[in-house]
Amino acid sequence: MKKSGLAGVVLLGLWLGLGLGQSAQAADPIKIGVLGPMAFTQGEGHWNGATMAAEEINSAGGITVGKEKRPLELVKVDTNEFLSIPDATNATEMAVSRHKVDFMVGGFRTEAVLVMQDIAMDAKKIFIGCGAAHPELCTRVTKDYDRYKYWFRLTPINSTYLGKVDFILLGTVGAIMKKTLGLEKLKVAIIAEKAAWADPIVAAAEKMLPEQMGMEVVGTWRPSPVAKDCTAELAAIQRAGAHIVFTTFSSSVGLTFAKQWGELKVPAAAVGINVEAQKSGFWAATGGKGEYTLTVNTYGRVKITDKTIPFYDKYIKEFKEAPNYTAGTYDALYLLKDAIERAGTIKSDKVVAEMEKTDALGAAGREVFDKSHDITWGPKFVTAVGTQWQDGKIECVWPFNWEGVTYEGSKPYKLPPWVAEHWKK
Amino acid sequence: MLLDIVIDGLIKGSVYALLAIGFSLVLGVARIINIAHTALFMTAAYLIYMGSKILGLPLILAMAGAVALTVLLGLVVYRLFIQPIQEHEAAVLIATIAVAMMLQEVFLMSFGGHYLGVPPLIDGYLEVMGVKVTYQHLLALGLALVMLLGVRQFLTGTRLGLALRSTAQDREVANLMGMDVNRVAMATVAVSVGLAAMTGAIVVPLITVEPTMWMHPLIMMLAIVVLGGLGSIEGSFIGAYLLGFAESLVVFLLPMGSFLKDSVALSIMILVLLIRPEGLFGVSFEEER
């Protein structure tokens, strides 16, 4: 009896061990490195978007790789790229060599991501960019496909497309000003932070505005991305008689600018890119002075696809703020999941081939990669949106009858009352 | 355009002068190069944010509380990190850098890298010959003048001011004459940090509160005190306005290069030092002190 009891225990132990062994094998996680400046809003967006997606995927059983279900394990990689590019390099190296991540998502500053991208390519790791806009990141894929094919950019749309949306927003506001205020020729002041990603937009604006849009450029100002005071620039813009100030900001200068613009009631409508104005904290940080700021954005509480509003609402419920474009890590993990499941493996080359075939409806729109592995922009694809601060809320004001596109829930653009008052004939 | 440059330069200069006066005071009187000066200014800014936005206190009360707490923190920093090594200037320099970095990390951990803001004491703006100036900026301009006069009066017209100046001239003799030199140094630090905190209170509605906000003012402040003459309060005051005007000139005359305004200001400092190493007013004001 004793012998049979002992044998039973041994058998049970073996069975459990084997069972557990199988379970551990089934549960072997796929490691995703989430790279971003984690102490800053952009990094928080990366992490929040990724955790939301990972929780959803894991609670649904994980990712099917061949015959097994594997959960996702996120590795938080603080790149600190706002303050130090070498920190970003070290963090990415560590993600590859120490944490041994299988895939990477995130990145924010182009200057840092260019280096992070090289580290990922050396390790042949798929890296889905969700933050840096410079075209060079994808041009590299076309120039040297074998080396850079592991790179994909999901958010934001690249700075050339951002420029296009920018110009559309500018044209839209210009048309409203002409119609409502009876202005004939519009004067535009260009203000853009001195950063690599903004250079192509400034060059295009200086050329396109007078040649193709019939607008006069009264000057171009390039403050530092971290300038703490824009009063001189604003005084000069007002002195130049600008009707519109065309903004290109991704750093703290956007907040300084918007706050002082509203405080001094500069009679020029602020239109363009202002990443700070995409954040929920913008209203409190500007003391409400940033009202009427119009910016290109990735998300708005409108029905871009069926996934957008549920994503937007859940994000606000969980993190108490609106998602900014770095929260594109949410869609990135779903695209990866689909590609891995189609490939039946996590081997980079096979997943790349499947990623290239992506055609999915994500929270940001219909997501398709072009030949340079950049997200496709256009009326039938990802469009981006134009959002304006109205009475303490972020409202989607574009697309509004653009190429047949108006997202359900959009509101009309509102001209700042002091601008209308100043220019009314 | 000239009017724009003059008014903008005056406003910018006032903000810089507010910061530089306190730094100059502690350098000139107590011989302490306090790199943490602008980090204490940042501390006041965060405390005002906490008081007004998190605790919901009235702005004035939050500002008064922040000034008092920052002075207290400044004194603790002095007793723990500066006083034991005060005789070694290089060590003091390094210790205060460490304090500034520590404060940065504390705020980064507590508030993240979020950009925060507080409302102005007086909302709105005044139009001066077609140039718009916010009331808060005008307050900064007025306070800079009041602070300069106040510090001069304090140093020349009060017993404590006399003690501060005599200790600065000869610490040992002052000690032999019965003065408690450590207390005098403490008083100097308290006044200097108080000025930094008051600057924080006035300037915080004009800027963005974030953990690296101390760095840029520090660079500008160092440039100003070197330009004006190390430890010379009046020199710093004039240096602040010179750099303020230089920045405005760059923005108005070279819009595409407006990001260069700091570099131009620092280049002016280097140029002045090449011609006059003691700074613009170093000798004359040193003699006065």
Taking the C-alpha atoms of residue A422 and residue B94, their distance in angstroms, rounded to an integer, is 53
DSSP state of A386: E
Residue A106: left if φ>0, alpha if ψ -120 to 50, beta else—which one? left
Q: Are B47 and B228 in contact (CB under 8 A)?
A: no
Confidence of residue B282 (pLDDT cuts 50, 70, 90): low
φ/ψ of residue A232, rounded to 5: -65, -45
Residue A272: strand pairing partners: A247, A295
* Mean of per-residue pLDDT scores for chain B: 85
Phi and psi of A331, rounded to 5°?
A: -65, -35
* Average pLDDT for chain A: 91
Name the CATH superfamily for A28-156+305-368: Response regulator (3.40.50.2300)
A190 and chain B in contact, CB less than 8 A: no
Per-residue pLDDT of A110-147, as tens digits, reads 989 999 999 999 999 999 999 998 899 999 999 999 99
- Residue B41 to residue B216: CA distance in whole angstroms: 12
The band of B123, judged by pLDDT with boundaries at 50, 70 and 90, is: confident
pLDDT over threshold 70, residue A377: yes
Nearest to A233 among B113, B114, B251 (CB): B251
Q: What pLDDT score does B88 carry?
A: 87
Q: Looking at residue A27, what is its pLDDT?
A: 65
B97-125 mean pLDDT: 90
Maximum CA extent, chain B = 60
Gap between the terminal Cα atoms of chain A: 105
Q: How far apart are CA B95 and CA A391, in angstroms?
A: 47
A263 contact residues in B (CB cutoff 8 A): 120, 125, 134
- The alpha carbon of residue B198 is apart from the nearest alpha carbon of chain A, in Å, by 18
Interface test with B, best of A263, A265, A283, A319 (most B CBs within 10 A): A263
| Residue the block writes with tokens 């509102």 | A414
For chain A, say whether B264 makes contact (Cβ under 8 Å). Answer: no
Measured CA to CA, the distance from residue B17 to residue B13 in angstroms comes to 6
Structure tokens at A424: 């009314």
- Asked if the C-beta of B118 comes within 8 angstroms of chain A's C-beta atoms, the answer is yes
The DSSP 8-state label assigned to residue A31 in this structure reads: E
Token pair belonging to A141: 């894929």
Q: What is the helix, strand, coil percentage profile of chain A, to 5?
A: 45, 20, 30
**Pairing between β-strand A216-221 and β-strand A244-249 as defined by DSSP bridges:** unpaired
Long-range contacts of B54-60 (CB under 8 A, 24+ apart): B59/B118, B59/B119, B59/B121, B60/B121
For chain B, say whether A224 makes contact (Cβ under 8 Å): yes
User: Is the minimum CB–CB distance between B115 and chain A shorter than 8 Å?
Assistant: yes
Residue A148: the pLDDT is 98
Which chain A residue is nearest to residue B7, measuring alpha carbons? A232
Q: Tell me, what DSSP letter sits at residue A251? A: S
**Does the beta-carbon distance from B4 to A41 stay under 8 Å?**
no
Residue (of A367, A394, A385) closest to A303 by Cα position: A385
Query: Rounded to an integer, what distance in angstroms lies between the CA atom of residue B30 and that of residue B50?
Result: 32
Q: What's the mean pLDDT in A41-64?
A: 96
Give CA–CA dist B192/B28, Å, rounded. Answer: 11
pLDDT score of A13 more than 50: no
Q: Would you say residue B221 has pLDDT above 70?
A: yes
- Among candidates B132, B208, B258 on the partner chain, residue whose Cβ is nearest the Cβ of A255: B208
> Confidence class of residue B20 from pLDDT cuts 50, 70 and 90?
confident
More confident residue, B90 or A48: A48
pLDDT at B270: 86
Tell me if residue A51 falls in helix, strand or coil. helix
The listed CATH number (3.30.1380, 2.40.128, 2.60.40, 1.10.3470) that belongs to domain B2-288: 1.10.3470
In whole angstroms, give the CA distance from residue A217 to residue B129.
25
* pLDDT digit string, tens, across residues A16-51: 444 444 443 456 899 999 999 998 888 999 999 999
d(C-alpha A159, C-alpha A151), whole Å: 17
> Are B78 and B18 a contacting pair, CB within 8 Å?
no
Q: What is the spatial distance between Cα B181 and Cα B164, in angstroms, rounded to a whole number?
A: 9
Quick: pLDDT tens for B128-158. 877 888 888 888 888 878 887 888 888 888 8
Peptide linkage before A156 cis (omega within 30 of 0): yes
pLDDT interval class at A5 (50, 70, 90): low
> Would you say residue A186 has pLDDT above 60?
yes
pLDDT in tens, B251-261: 888 888 778 87
- Cβ distance B255 to A259 less than 8 Å, yes or no, reads no
**Whether the Cβ atoms of residue B4 and residue B247 lie closer than 8 Å to each other:** no
Provide mean pLDDT across the span A67-92: 93
Q: Residue B252 carries which DSSP code? A: H
A40 touches B: beta carbon within 8 Å: yes
- B91 min Cα distance to partner chain A (Å): 26
Residue B108's closest chain A neighbor by CA?
A39
Residue type, A162: L
Verify whether the Cβ–Cβ distance B213 to A265 is below 8 Å.
Answer: no
Residues A50-56: what's their mean pLDDT?
A: 97
Contact B135/A at CB under 8 A? no
Give B-chain residues touching A265 at CB under 8 angstroms: 125, 132
pLDDT higher than threshold 50 for residue A164: yes
Query: When comparing pLDDT for B41 and A23, which is higher?
Result: B41
Region B62-73: what's the mean pLDDT?
95
**What sign does the dihedral A5-A8-A13-A16 (CA atoms) show?**
negative
Asked if A255 has any chain B CB less than 8 Å from its own CB, the reply is yes
Q: Of B19, B52, B118, B132, which to mutate for an interface test with A (greatest number of A Cβ within 10 Å)? A: B132
- Please state the φ and ψ torsions of residue B154, each to the nearest 5 degrees: -65, -45
Tokens for A50?
A: 């990724």
Q: Look up the CATH architecture of domain A160-297+384-423.
A: 3-Layer(aba) Sandwich (3.40)
pLDDT of residue B102: 95
Please report, rounded to a whole number, the percentage of residues in chain A having pLDDT higher than 70.
Answer: 93
Find out whether A410 and A393 touch, Cβ atoms under 8 Å: no
Segment A236-260 shows an average pLDDT of: 92
| DSSP structure string for A107-146 | ---HHHHHHHHHHHHHTT-EEEEES---THHHHHHHHTHH
Quote the longest CA-to-CA distance of chain A: 105
Inform me whether the C-beta atom of residue B257 falls under 8 Å from chain A C-beta atoms.
yes
| Contact criterion met (CB < 8 Å) for B119 and A287 | yes
For A363-369, what is the mean pLDDT? 96
Angle, alpha carbons B108-B114-B118 (nearest 5°): 110
In the block, tokens 């508030």 appear at B111
pLDDT of residue A118: 97
Interface contact flag, A232 B8, Cβ < 8 Å: yes
Of B108, B115, B251, the CB nearest to A232: B251
Domain boundary assignment for chain A: 28-156+305-368, 160-297+384-423
What band does A265 get if pLDDT is binned at 50, 70 and 90?
very high
Cβ of B213 within 8 Å of Cβ of A227? The answer is no
**Alpha-carbon gap, residue A392 to A350, rounded angstroms:** 47
Chain A residues near residue B118 by CB distance under 8 angstroms: 287
pLDDT at A384 over 70: yes
C-alpha to C-alpha distance for A178 and B213, rounded to whole angstroms: 41
Q: Are A315 and A324 in contact (CB under 8 A)?
A: no
Cβ-based contacts of B109 with chain A (< 8 Å):
39
pLDDT over threshold 70, residue A361: yes
Structure ipTM: 0.78
Q: For residue A223, which residues of chain B lie inside 8 Å, CB to CB? A: 258-259
Rg, Å, chain A Cα set:
24
Per-residue pLDDT at B285 exceeds 50:
no
Report the pLDDT value the prediction gives residue A23, as an integer from 0 to 100.
Answer: 42
**pLDDT computed for residue A21 by the predictor:** 41
**CB of B114 within 8 Å of any CB in chain A?**
yes
* Residues of A with Cβ-Cβ distance to B138 under 8 angstroms: none
Q: Looking at the complex, report in whole angstroms how far the Cα of residue B144 sits from the nearest Cα belonging to chain A.
A: 18
As a whole-number percent, the residues of chain A with pLDDT over 90 amount to: 77
Domain A160-297+384-423 in the same topology as domain A28-156+305-368? yes
Please name the residue that has the structure tokens 């690599």.
Answer: A196
> How far is the C-alpha of A382 from the C-alpha of A250, rounded, in Å?
20
Of B118, B131, B207, which is closest to A228 when you measure between CB atoms? B207
pLDDT confidence of residue A26:
52
B183-192 pLDDT tens trace? 888 888 898 8
Residues whose CB falls within 8 Å of the CB of residue A77, separated by 6 or more in sequence, listed in order: A33, A34, A35, A36, A91, A92, A94, A95, A99, A101, A104, A106
The DSSP letter of residue A376 is P
Render pLDDT for A268-301 as a digit per residue (tens, 0 to 9): 999 999 989 998 889 988 989 999 999 999 999 9
Q: Which two structure tokens, joined as six digits, stand for B214?
A: 């101390």
Please report which confidence band the pLDDT of residue A4 belongs to, taking 50, 70 and 90 as the band edges.
low
Nearest to A265 by CA among A289, A237, A243, A296: A289
A44 touches chain B (CB under 8 A): yes
Kindly determine whether residue B132 and residue A265, on different chains, have CB atoms separated by under 8 Å.
yes
Helices B181-203 and B135-157: crossing angle in degrees, nearest 10, is: 170
**Residue pair A161/A185 in contact by the 8 Å Cβ criterion:** no
Nearest to B4 among A224, A236, A252 (CB): A236
* Best-predicted range by mean pLDDT (A190-199, A212-221, B169-178): A212-221
Q: How many other C-beta atoms can be found within 10 angstroms of the C-beta atom of residue B219?
A: 14
A120, two tokens:
């990922």
Contact with chain A for residue B101, Cβ under 8 A: no
